[in-house]
Amino acid sequence: MVEQLRKSITALSLFVLCAAAGAQAPSTPLTIRPDAPERYVVVPGDTLWGISQRYTDSPWRWPELWGLNKDQIRNPHLIYPGYVITLDRARGQVTIGTGTGAGTETGTETGSGRAGGAAPSGSQKLGPRIRGQSLAKESIPSIPSSVIEPFLSRPVVVEPDGLDKAPTIVGTQGDRVILAAGNSAYVRGIAGSNEESWYVYRRGAPLVDPDTNQTLAYEAIYLGTARLERDGDPATVVLTSAAQEMGAGDKLVPAGPPQVINYAPHSPASNIRGRVIAIHGGLGKVAEAGPQTIISINRGARDGLEVGHVLALYSLGGSVRDVFKARDARDANIKLPDERAGLAFVFRVFNRVSYALVMHISRPIGPFDVVQTP
């Protein structure tokens, strides 16, 4: 049962490896911006998207410009604060090195300590001087990890029946109606699972496809964490943290160790067209999406969507009445075209829905607006 639950609800910080080689070939060449410097030293807080946005005309296509080989595509995040990025306009290429910005300095030095001076008699010979210093341990991410972190573990998306067979709180310590951190609860469905740490969830709002009016999935509301104290049926768990009140009927999901796999942004290999079905901001849902807003879309793994895919955002075109035709004419209304509004980065994919981060936007995006292959 627990293994089936793992397949229907993922509560891990899981990034799926995506290779850029299979992506759709872009229609236009990527170029370095005219005002870009020849060299740039990476600093803490940078993102690969942000660096490319400042210095290229298409930030999500930085793997093309950097000429990543297969080894680098497996781990494109092997770039750290202090690394030096060289922008070669002549060849239209960007290279990364660990030069002076990374703490390695090569130069000449005289006995007086001045570089490039004449060495007096008996002084040290001129030669290279190498000075090393430790690099920051944190690599540079593709997109701001702090923004998407809550959506890597919570809330999650479950199939319409995804929590039905999940382990369930059936009783509480002292018949408490509301549970908090430190309280014990009795759970059925986890006997013999060998899992020690659990997340506690409650089924949330449905995610409905605006095209078919079909419920694609539900959001699972994260309530807190629990630790198995005594195996059995029912088993006893102790609540170790509480984000919201918990009680009988709430569901448990195995936590397990987080797994993080790096990725590279790329275009879908096929033409994907979908709709925005929810916009997440602050503590709930909001009416319009802005930069670095999380959106849910009605396309997922079954549609060929992958983590790392970049999708174009379009404001859904409305309609106006043709003043030269009668009001009751069949073609009295003119359908206006969808307007390009920005780009979104897909960072978590489920079977039928996905989460994406709005990276760039020129006009507000609302529910039911369009996402598609750029």
DSSP string, 147-168: HHHHHHHSSEEE-TTTTTTS-E
Q: Say if residues 284 and 39 touch (Cβ distance below 8 Å).
A: no
Confidence (pLDDT) at 284: 58
Task: Please give the helix or strand (H or E) that residue 65 lies within, else none.
Answer: helix 62-66
**In the prediction, which pLDDT does 154 show?**
62
Question: What is the model's pLDDT at position 331?
Answer: 72
Closest CA to 42 of 90, 97, 92, 107: 97
Q: Are 204 and 341 a contacting pair, CB within 8 Å?
A: no
Q: What is the pLDDT of residue 275?
A: 94
- Say whether the peptide bond before residue 155 is cis (omega within 30 degrees of 0): yes
Please state whether beta strands 319-321 and 333-335 pair in parallel, antiparallel, or not at all (unpaired).
antiparallel
- pTM surpassing 0.75? no
Helices marked H in 35-136: 48-55, 62-66, 70-74
Residue carrying structure tokens 């298409």: 58
Q: What is the pLDDT of residue 99?
A: 56
DSSP, collapsed to helix, strand or coil, labels residue 288 as coil
pLDDT of residue 304: 93
Q: In the prediction, which pLDDT does 137 show? A: 53
In order of start, what are the domains of the chain with their CATH numbers?
A: 14-105+134-142 (no CATH), 150-254 (no CATH), 273-372 (2.40.10)
Which parts of the chain register pLDDT below 50? Answer: 2-25, 69-70, 73, 100-136
49 contact partners, CB below 8 Å, separation of at least 6:
59, 60, 62, 142, 143, 265, 345, 359
What is residue 129's predicted lDDT score, i.e. its pLDDT?
Answer: 38
What span, in angstroms and rounded, lies between the C-alpha atoms of 266 and 218?
28
